[in-house]
């Protein structure tokens, strides 16, 4: 029962941390801009780069990664170890990602979860996640499109977790589900990529 109570508490904390609308807050506080009404309308780091500039975009990305990393770190340190410990950690991480995608503070209309997912797996599988982050940066640098890097990193995540980390089938399966969820959240971007209308990360905002 103690483990279950701890899990419930950490799930709530993780979801609330994930729900913090970083790009929205930075836009309002620093630029007096509602990022939901600019660029792609997304509150993720890629639109923050586009609308708020590179410096604020980097800060948004760091904070969004931290939103995924911090609940997992706290849980690993504070929760009582048990037979289901790995499963509990993954569920807590998923709560942070869902918080970013469906934030309580913005009527459940959030970002696509890429940076927050990176934070979760940075705590669980640092080598695999590091490779996916590097892939993201390289593809974005080449294509100038955040969605290209995000889709590739999400697709590569379960393979990197399994082959580089030698992770359990359970962790690999969950990474595949989260990667698929990120890809589904990018369905509009996929249509835009096919149509050749996807916004670049350095697109000018009119």
List, for residues 94-137, the tens digit of each pLDDT value: 899 999 989 998 889 888 888 898 899 899 899 999 999 899 88
Instruction: Answer whether residue 204 is part of any domain.
Output: no
For the chain, the average pLDDT equals 88
Percent of residues, the chain, with pLDDT higher than 90: 48
Instruction: Answer whether residue 154 is part of any domain.
Output: yes
Instruction: Answer whether residue 115 is part of any domain.
Output: yes
Dihedral sign of CA atoms 53, 59, 65, 71 in order: negative
Cα–Cα distance for residue pair 80/9, rounded to 1 Å: 13
- pLDDT level of residue 179 (50, 70, 90 thresholds): confident
> Given this model, what pLDDT does residue 112 score?
82
Cα–Cα distance for residue pair 91/103, rounded to 1 Å: 17
Instruction: Answer whether residue 144 is part of any domain.
Output: yes
Residue ranges making up the domain that contains 35: 2-195
Instruction: Answer whether residue 201 is part of any domain.
Output: no
Give CA separation, 30 vs 2, 18, 51, 181, in Å: 43, 21, 12, 31
Instruction: Answer whether residue 203 is part of any domain.
Output: no
| CB contact at 8 A, 11 and 99 | no
Instruction: Answer whether residue 205 is part of any domain.
Output: no
Instruction: Answer whether residue 111 is part of any domain.
Output: yes
Count: domains in the chain? 1
Percent of residues, the chain, with pLDDT higher than 70: 97
Cα–Cα distance for residue pair 104/116, rounded to 1 Å: 16
**Mean pLDDT comparison of 17-21, 76-80, 185-189, highest-scoring range:** 17-21
Number of other residues whose CB lies within 10 A of the CB of residue 65 = 21
């Amino acid at each position: 029962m103690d483990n279950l109570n701890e899990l419930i508490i950490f799930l709530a904390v993780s979801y609330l941390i994930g729900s913090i609308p970083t790009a929205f807050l930075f836009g309002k506080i620093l630029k007096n801009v509602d990022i939901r009404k600019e660029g792609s309308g997304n509150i993720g780091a890629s639109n923050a780069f586009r609308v708020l500039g590179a410096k604020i975009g980097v800060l948004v990305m760091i904070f969004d990664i931290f939103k995924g990393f911090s609940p997992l770190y706290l849980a690993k340190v504070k929760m009582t170890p048990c037979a289901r410990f790995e499963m509990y950690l993954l569920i807590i991480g998923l709560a942070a990602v869902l918080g970013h995608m469906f934030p309580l503070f913005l009527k459940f209309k959030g970002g696509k979860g890429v940076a927050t997912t990176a934070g979760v797996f940075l705590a669980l599988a640092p080598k695999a996640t590091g490779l996916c982050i590097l892939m993201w940066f390289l593809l974005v640098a080449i294509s100038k499109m955040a969605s290209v890097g995000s889709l590739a990193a999400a697709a590569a995540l379960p393979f990197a977790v399994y082959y580089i980390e030698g992770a359990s089938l359970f962790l690999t399966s969950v990474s595949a589900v989260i990667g698929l969820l990120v890809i589904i959240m990018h369905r509009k971007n996929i249509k835009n990529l096919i149509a050749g209308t996807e916004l670049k990360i350095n697109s000018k905002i009119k």
